[in-house]
Amino acid sequence: MLKVLVCIKRVVDYNVRVRVKPDGSGVAVEGLKMSINPFDEIALEEALRLKERGQARDVAVVTVGDAGAQQQLRTALAMGADRALLIETSAPIEPLVVARALRALVEREQPDLVLLGKQAIDDDQAQTGQMLAALWDRPQATFASRLEIDGGRARVTREVDAGLEVIDVDLPAVVTTDLRLNQPRYVKLPEILKAKKKPLDVLPLSALGVDSLARLVIERVDPPAPRARGIRVQNAAELVRVLRERGVL
């Protein structure tokens, strides 16, 4: 049976309306509800289903971030993960830093399968899984909408621009998950209470031999331009005229 490592990220809840800081240095997150990145939640759900089908024996969940991320790890434990690990750092984290930290952790854990969401909803970079696979020198399958395990291989159905693509990869491998892979389960109160007794270890980022040196510089963050008010037209001819005036036709 597989040993599965699931990587999650702490992000502002998708139902929350974010605000840009007055100085344009980033997004104000103080006091906002934080949650597991939805794509990572799908990855965790898939790992739990593998375990329920008897194909996985251990599901560990890991995140890189500050102490506040323990809340999301506890949620993951309540969903059904066996144990959790926080790679702690107070510095801003980038995909390459996370990938290097996960690569070092993979050496310790020796998982058969690493699952994570295809992207995070806060930065939409979609880079960490691919970087991890490259650093680990193992196969990768991204944007998975279906995952099947057959012995030492994984069959992944991917969503691509032209439709669906089915590929087979040897394990160990990295798989990133898409929206249509599954519907994550609802966490019940008894499971939340049980999760408090499950192991959650904290490991400094520096203990993995990884630095948090920033390689990306954010010059400025601006909110989207306000949407222009719509107009009402009387008939199709007037609609065509307006569209031509605006250069749409």
Domain count, the chain: 1
Spatial separation of the C-alpha atoms in residues 178 and 183, rounded to whole Å:
11
Rg of the chain over Cα atoms, rounded to whole angstroms, equals 21
Q: Give the pLDDT confidence score for residue 130 in this predicted structure.
A: 96
In contact, 181 and 197? CB cutoff 8 Å: no
Q: Summarize pLDDT for 52-70 with one digit per residue, the tens.
A: 999 999 999 999 999 999 9
Residue 232: inside a domain, yes or no? no
What digits encode the pLDDT tens for the residues 196-214? 899 999 999 999 999 888 8
**Domain assignment present for 185:** yes
Mean pLDDT confidence for 23-49: 91
CATH classification of the domain holding 176: 3.40.50.620
pLDDT in tens, 114-136: 999 999 998 888 999 999 999 99
Ranges 33-47, 166-180, 235-249: which has the least confidence: 235-249
Q: Domain of 29? A: 2-220
Look at residue 234 and tell me if it is in a domain.
no
Residue 58 lies in a domain: yes
The answer to the question of residue 236 being in a domain is: no
Q: Is 227 part of a structural domain of the chain? A: no
- Give me the pLDDT at residue 172, please: 96
Question: Looking at the domain assignment, is residue 52 inside a domain?
Answer: yes
Mean pLDDT of 146-169: 92
**Which residue, 156, 114, 133, 142, is CA-closest to 3?**
114
Instruction: Please state the pTM of the whole predicted model.
Output: 0.86
The confidence score (pLDDT) of residue 92 equals: 83
